[in-house]
Amino acid sequence: MTSIRDVARLAGVSPSTVSRVMNQTANVNEEKKQKVLWAIQETGFVPNELARSLYKKNSKIIGVIVPSIDNPFFGELARVIEEEAFLNGYRLTLCSSNHNREKEKANIQMLTRLKAEGIILMTNDETLQEEIEKCNLPIVALDRQIASGNGVSYIHADHYKGSRLAMKHLLECGCKNIVKLREPQVYSSGRQRFAGYVSVCKEYGIPVQYIDCQYDYEDGFRVAEQVLLKYPDVDGILANNDMVAIAVYKVLKKRGYRVPEDVQLIGFDNIAFSHMILQELTTIEQPIKEMGKLAVKAIMEYGQAGKIEQEQVLDVTLIKRETTKERKGLS
């Protein structure tokens, strides 16, 4: 493999001169510069971009930390971020913490050492303030709020409104016995969604009925069985995300329930899988593309202006499909 020393030897210059030409970190006279460029072409030398980023002021690297790459919501967000970063001349370093706080801290430290332009964080831990302050990089928190500070932006959908839209739709569909699969309350998204559900219950004098559920496909199977045991007269289920809703749908069909005739079902997110099941899933659409693009834009703007917008709240949309059916009910 060709090294920087091979290029220097062929060009008749020192390795440090080759490095200065590649990184554009100091003036090199035109004759030497042309010799180096010619030697690079002749040898086919490919510089180590990771190493170069440690020396250059602008690494053009954006770090992305997700709690689990297995969750399609985060996978779709990461894809949008990568496409937007590429279009603007940036590269992506994707890290999955696997729901491990220590791994999230280690990923932040690693991206700091790489001199990333910024970090887009979809954290499972909202108490990373100390680590974020130490990294001295612009941080964009997507979907989940972390402790705020200078250089931290929070971009999220209106979870409160989304839950209200879903709940009101079930009422318009004539549901009388609705059960909420409550999101983990350690996350801002979960707290906002549950608050939206409770607000509609109070507005219409409906009992608050819920079972706690993780944002997890496998947990959806467990919780669906609990719902049917604890609330045998259930006729509407408000799931905490689309993957959980798909698991619930499978349990309902297995137990002989008709959807939506016996039980109506709504998800949250509008991931691609939501319209790939036998009956397409009614859901609340988060603006995934817009969220990803705004996150990259925030990192870029911080690099140019040294400031970042503190919070951006994006609208959500009710997507009506086949797991609900409107009929005369409350309005």
Nearest-angstrom CA–CA distance, 40 and 18: 9
At the top level of CATH, the class of 159-286 is alpha beta
Which amino acid is located at 35 in the chain?
Answer: K
CA dihedral for 33, 38, 39, 43, sign (positive or negative): positive
Angle value at C-alpha 94, between 272 and 103, nearest 5 degrees: 110
| Domain over 61-157+288-314 is classified CATH 3.40.50.2300 | yes
Which H, E and C letters describe 287-323, residue by residue? CHHHHHHHHHHHHHHHHHHCCCCCEEEECCEEECCCC
Which amino acid is located at 151 in the chain?
Answer: G
Single pTM value for the model: 0.81
Reading the chain (331 residues) residue by residue, the pLDDT tens digits are 678 888 889 889 988 888 788 776 667 888 888 888 888 888 887 766 555 555 555 689 999 999 888 889 999 999 999 999 999 999 999 998 888 888 888 898 889 888 899 999 987 666 677 777 777 888 999 988 776 555 688 999 999 999 999 999 999 999 999 999 999 998 889 999 999 999 999 999 999 999 999 999 999 999 999 999 999 999 999 999 999 999 999 999 999 999 999 999 999 999 999 988 889 999 999 999 999 999 999 999 887 777 777 889 999 999 999 999 987 544 4
Residue 172 backbone zone (phi > 0: left; psi -120 to 50: alpha; other: beta) = alpha
Nearest-angstrom CA–CA distance, 142 and 156: 6
> Are the CB atoms for 65 and 119 separated by under 8 Å?
yes
DSSP for 140-155 reads EEESS-----TTEEEE
E strand or H helix that includes residue 283: strand 283-285
Distances (CA, A) of 229 to 84, 167, 233: 46, 22, 9
Beta 61-66 vs 91-96: how paired, if at all?
parallel
> Are the CB atoms for 111 and 137 separated by under 8 Å?
yes
**Residue extents of the structural domains in the chain:** 4-47, 61-157+288-314, 159-286
Can 61-157+288-314 and 159-286 be said to share one CATH topology? yes
